[in-house]
Structure 1
């Protein structure tokens, strides 16, 4: 499996999985988008548009979520692009323009043709947001017209918009800890590059994690298991022990100890390198163990597929 595919799988089973929750999507906006209209969003009016607008060339490098919201009795569409590339794409404003146009085309298909032709008809605003978790600072222009040659010669006759940017690595640990919520916890953990960092940050988050509502707590636990599967050796027996105890406080209380054990063992033995095929088999076994444990916890198939990325057919096979 190519490296960008692995990154996509990790991203798609983490941020997309988490933000498919309307509650966590609204939490993301309220935590990182400092605009007056954010506080007027009513979570009960948020509806996901079940369609991806990502260009074919970028299918392995990004994912998206589209939400329609009632704001002041007006339909507003939020387009959230989950950007996974380590390199900054300086054509981002152009890509977002294409996505916005496709969203309008998609929505207009279901509109009454007579209503569309009326003078008072208005297209719903589309608010583009880029969530980027690369290590490099995002340096692409956020304004569309900055891509246009000699744009300074013209005024309002040129097309223009500016997208919102959420650059995960640019937030300090203190800022994320102060949020005391799921999204802040996720950003803090995702920034950890080494197991020592992950262990230290989990220790700082234990109080926050224990206080989370049950629905978001479950999603965060599933996300952490997936991240651990990426950051730790797949055949690590302590990881298997952790997976078998992915239950509320048992998981939370044992997490730091398991990580500490793995770190100490890693320092003694050094990082073990396996052949690519062996690594694939180990990763597959680890994922199957996660799925089996989720089945034992009574989670339904759709939730397990979202949380792990394992195909529905495989989940049902393991369930039997």
Structure 2
């Protein structure tokens, strides 16, 4: 399976709200979406065209209505098969274009405010993820008087190969089962599981 086919497979998988909810609640530290009804998840356009002729495409975007106060939170899910050193910069671009798209579509809150965004990178490559998760790490240190004016962006990371093996085996959710099946095809995963069982 090529990298492009693999990424398309994940896009198809996470086109379902139950899979997105399982991913965030089961494989990140964020508890915001625990117990949120699937009906609160709404798929959002993931093609953002800037003012220039070129276009940037995110992978999967969901808007979720959370809590009694109906707070909208946008999940921006990016799939990576390789390490991209400039991922924080790319994510800043995606978030900016997403927000611009929401403004142009008049999809803001009643107070005309943009929703909070959860930028999430799902990485399934074998080498450990080594790219900075914060944009500031890609920038030259500015003079003190300019520091507060520099761009800022962070993203959350799910590194599939480095998920906790015991926790994954103990998880009965469908997504955890799919991850175990996928990873079991690779000799390194099998060797690690055997070594853990012997200890």
The TM-score, its normalising length taken from structure 1, stands at 0.51
1:77 and 2:68 are equivalent in the alignment: no
* 1:293-304 pair list within 5 angstroms: none
Q: Name the SS of the counterpart of 2:157 in structure 1.
A: strand
Deviation, 1:84, is 1.9
The TM-score, its normalising length taken from structure 2, stands at 0.79
* 1:77-96 pair list within 5 angstroms: 77-85=74-82, 88-96=83-91
> How far apart, in 2, do the equivalents of 1:54 and 1:27 lie?
30
1:100 and 2:95 are equivalent in the alignment: yes
1:147 and 2:158 are equivalent in the alignment: no
Q: Return the match for 2:6 from 6, 10, 31.
A: 10
> How far apart, in 2, do the equivalents of 1:46 and 1:98 lie?
23
Q: CA RMSD in A?
A: 3.1
- Give 1:161's aligned residue: 153
> How far apart, in 2, do the equivalents of 1:84 and 1:126 lie?
23
Q: Name the SS of the counterpart of 1:165 in structure 2.
A: strand
Q: Name the SS of the counterpart of 1:82 in structure 2.
A: strand
- The 8 Å contact of residues 54 and 64 in structure 1, kept in 2 or not, is answered as no
Deviation, 1:173, is 2.9
- Give 1:68's aligned residue: 63
Q: Name the SS of the counterpart of 1:140 in structure 2.
A: coil
Q: Deviations over 1:213-262 (max 9, x none)?
A: xxxxxxxxxxxxxxxxxxxxxxxxxxxxxxxxxxxxxxxxxxxxxxxxxx
- The 8 Å contact of residues 40 and 64 in structure 2, kept in 1 or not, is answered as yes
More strand by percentage: 2
Choose 1 or 2 for highest CA Rg. 1
Deviation, 1:183, is 1.2
- Give 1:110's aligned residue: 105
- Give 2:43's aligned residue: 48
> How far apart, in 1, do the equivalents of 2:21 and 2:4 lie?
23
- Give 2:197's aligned residue: none
- The 8 Å contact of residues 49 and 56 in structure 2, kept in 1 or not, is answered as yes
> How far apart, in 2, do the equivalents of 1:145 and 1:95 lie?
13
More helix by percentage: 1
Where structure 1 has 5 or more consecutive residues not aligned to the other structure, the ranges are 202-320
Aligned length: 185
- The 8 Å contact of residues 54 and 99 in structure 1, kept in 2 or not, is answered as no
Q: Name the SS of the counterpart of 2:32 in structure 1.
A: helix
Deviation, 1:197, is 7.0
1:31 and 2:21 are equivalent in the alignment: no
